[in-house]
Structure 1
């Protein structure tokens, strides 16, 4: 009995380490945008579907090739890019590779955002 309890406890503690990448839903999934995808490709797919870049609130471009990507300050800062179409908006969390290339990391669920 103790062996079963130990095995279950270990499997539960290890499970998060094997969790899959975040699954994107809504408009992003419909367009074929997935977590881990290069941001440039996701931006092209959104543009082809009529979505336009939402200018960032700050004027400081973190990635000169993608001035719409905005990053917070500090140790746990998050980068994001927003898009809008008609009265809808969506935002994606953006990560960067070691080479500095942006990729889709997930989506944000900010108030007023529909994805």
Structure 2
């Protein structure tokens, strides 16, 4: 028979599994899938808030899962950072080009 604490540990395990899949998506630069899994991760964390707390015996298992989740999160952030920098640079370039075009067209436009 499953106890509420077992359910909570299973939920932590599910979150750890999602974070592991997110890490794989970041490693393989599958950004769309990573974002999709991010939404799934967020929902799982929100559901976690509705469950009963663990007893003392199960806290060690939770600690191991949380450590795994945090390790995945750190790796994901490290892998995503260069892509975010690239996108930021690209958006900056596009914005500068748009400003130049607007300035050019405002001076060439017939009155």
Q: Give TM-score scaled by structure 1 length.
A: 0.22
Using CA pairs under 8 Å that are at least 6 residues apart, name the structure with larger relative contact order, 1 or 2: 2
Q: Give TM-score scaled by structure 2 length.
A: 0.22
Q: Which has the higher Rg, Structure 1 or Structure 2? A: 2
Question: Which is richer in strand?
Answer: 1
Question: Which is richer in helix?
Answer: 2
